[in-house]
């Protein structure tokens, strides 16, 4: 069934974003093991115990038209280095969220995230004609909050006691967005940052 959010491969100079499939499970687990990312209490990166349910859940969301999960492939090494996705898709209102993003420790603070977000935002605003793209992160995930601000997103606010995590802890969530009217300036900024990474 064709939906507003159909599977697509997005490719840049550093990375290729490929629609996630079940056979990516071992590669995703290997990527998450670089830095034992699941041990960061303010993230939800899959571990060997949760990887199958993690992938099955996001693939079910994709079938329902609510998400489009990607694996992030490092073109230099031809290895999976993380995951990202479109989620909370609202086709009627042409809005979606970019999130559930994580990368192997070895590629963090490189040009990888900037290029991934450029690819995702370009597709969202220029192909899907989104009017807004949202980002959400844990209040205590300052690395993620700063990365989102560096993209050019604006902080909308904080939802207190937004969710209960898998350990039963309350999570405050920080919400950011980029509007279609802001995209041209944001794109220029991202392209400048990328030009310094290549």
pLDDT at 1: 40
Residue 17 and residue 70 in contact, taking contact as beta carbons nearer than 8 Å: yes
Q: Does the residue 4 lie in any domain?
A: no
Side-chain half-sphere CA neighbours of 29 within 13 A: 14
Characterise 57 by phi-psi region: left (phi > 0), alpha (psi -120 to 50), beta (else): alpha
DSSP string, 86-137: EEEEETTTTEEEEEEEEE-GGGTTSSHHHHHHHHHHHIIIIIS--SEEEEEE
pLDDT at 50: 81
Q: From first to last of the 198 residues of the chain, give the pLDDT tens digit.
A: 457 889 999 999 999 999 999 999 999 989 887 655 555 545 666 677 888 988 999 999 999 999 999 999 999 999 999 999 999 999 999 999 999 998 888 877 788 999 999 999 999 999 999 999 999 999 998 988 998 999 999 999 999 999 998 788 899 999 999 999 999 999 999 999 999 876
Q: What is the CATH number of the domain that holds 172?
A: 3.40.630.30
pLDDT at 104: 84
Give the angle subtended at the CA of 43 by the CAs of 69 and 62, to the nearest 5°: 15
Q: Does the residue 46 lie in any domain?
A: yes
Which tokens belong to 30? 């290997």
Q: Does the residue 5 lie in any domain?
A: no
Q: Does the residue 172 lie in any domain?
A: yes
Q: Does the residue 3 lie in any domain?
A: no
pLDDT at 42: 53
The span from the CA of 198 to the CA of 196, in Å, is 6
pLDDT at 53: 87
Q: Does the residue 187 lie in any domain?
A: yes
Q: Does the residue 72 lie in any domain?
A: yes
pTM (predicted TM-score): 0.91
Q: Does the residue 87 lie in any domain?
A: yes
pLDDT at 84: 96
150 is in which domain, residue-wise?
10-197
**How many domains does the chain contain in total?**
1
């Amino acid at each position: 069934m064709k939906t507003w959010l159909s599977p697509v491969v997005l490719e840049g100079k550093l990375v290729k974003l490929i629609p996630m499939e079940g056979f990516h499970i071992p590669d995703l687990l290997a990527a998450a093991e670089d830095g034992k990312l699941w041990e960061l209490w303010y993230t939800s990166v899959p571990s060997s115990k949760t990887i199958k349910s993690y992938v099955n859940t996001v693939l079910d969301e994709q079938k329902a038209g609510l998400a489009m999960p990607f694996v992030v492939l490092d073109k230099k090494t031809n290895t999976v280095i993380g995951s990202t996705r479109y989620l909370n898709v609202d086709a009627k209102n042409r809005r979606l969220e970019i999130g559930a993003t994580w990368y192997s420790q070895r590629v963090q603070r490189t040009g990888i995230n900037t290029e991934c977000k450029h690819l995702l935002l370009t597709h969202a605003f220029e192909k899907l004609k989104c009017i807004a793209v949202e980002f959400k992160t844990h209040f205590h995930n300052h690395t993620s909050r700063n990365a989102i601000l560096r993209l050019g997103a604006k902080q909308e606010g904080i939802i207190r006691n937004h969710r209960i995590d898998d350990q039963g802890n309350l999570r405050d969530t920080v919400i950011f967005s980029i509007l279609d009217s802001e995209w041209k300036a944001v794109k220029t900024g991202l392209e400048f940052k990328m030009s310094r990474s290549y």
